[in-house]
């Protein structure tokens, strides 16, 4: 399920009428959203999907190098189910951090009484992030819609063609649906992108 609705994309698709291709179009929306999410640095959810739909994520972030109290997340999480600090890869009640010992902000988790560890996979955060279907911010929605239209134009104009010649070279058609510069710029302007660059 994508955060951007089928109805939103259909309204932006010139000359699209009826519902004959709705299943294929929804598939392209899901793929386009996954591409934009990957560009923005979003990981796959616990269910194995990549996109902006609200989902649960299990992450193993490392503390900020410049602000040790901050445990950055790749997005603005809506809520935290649990945060763990361990030196032994044990994530249970004994390594669960008291929620009173950290604060969730748009940047990540700020420790108040907890020392985040730099041990590989020593910090685990289980959280929920993303948006319900139809409620993604306008800039996120615009990037996904633009990428869907890009994919739709290319794939529909070359149905049954596995590759195409581009600048004298044969290119697999799937490679032609990579995010064009305009969609990249749109994604960079969205709130989904700035969390990914804050981690670096």
Domain assignments of the chain as residue spans, ordered by start: 6-42+133-161+169-193, 55-129
Comparing CA positions, the residue from 1, 7, 3, 30 lying closest to residue 132 is 3
Burial environment of residue 169 by CB neighbours within 10 A (0 to 12, 13 to 18, 19 or more): exposed
Q: What is the model's pTM?
A: 0.84
Backbone torsion region of residue 31, taken as left when φ is above 0, otherwise alpha when ψ lies between -120 and 50, otherwise beta: alpha
Interhelix angle 22-39/181-188, nearest 10 degrees: 60
pLDDT digit string (tens) for 115-173? Answer: 899 999 999 999 999 999 999 999 999 999 999 999 988 877 654 445 555 556 655 55
Tokens read off for 94: 């004994």
Comparing CA positions, the residue from 184, 197, 193 lying closest to residue 143 is 184
């Amino acid at each position: 399920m994508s955060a951007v609705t089928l109805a939103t994309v259909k309204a932006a698709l010139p000359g699209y009428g009826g519902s004959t291709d709705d299943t294929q179009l929804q598939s392209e929306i899901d793929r386009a959203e996954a591409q934009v999410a990957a560009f923005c640095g979003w990981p796959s959810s616990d269910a194995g999907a990549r996109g902006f739909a609200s989902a649960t994520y299990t992450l193993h972030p490392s503390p900020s190098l410049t602000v040790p109290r901050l445990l950055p997340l790749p997005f603005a999480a809506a809520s935290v189910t649990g945060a763990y600090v361990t030196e032994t890869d044990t994530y249970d009640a004994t390594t669960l951090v008291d929620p009173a010992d950290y604060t969730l902000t748009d940047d990540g988790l700020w420790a108040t009484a907890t020392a985040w560890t730099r041990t590989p996979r020593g910090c685990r955060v289980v959280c929920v992030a993303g948006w319900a279907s139809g409620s993604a911010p306008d800039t996120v929605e615009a990037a996904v819609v633009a990428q869907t239209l890009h994919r739709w134009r290319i794939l529909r104009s070359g149905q049954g063609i596995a590759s195409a010649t581009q600048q004298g070279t044969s290119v697999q058609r799937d490679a032609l649906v990579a995010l064009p510069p305009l969609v990249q710029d749109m994604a960079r302007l969205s709130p989904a992108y700035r969390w990914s660059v804050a981690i670096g």
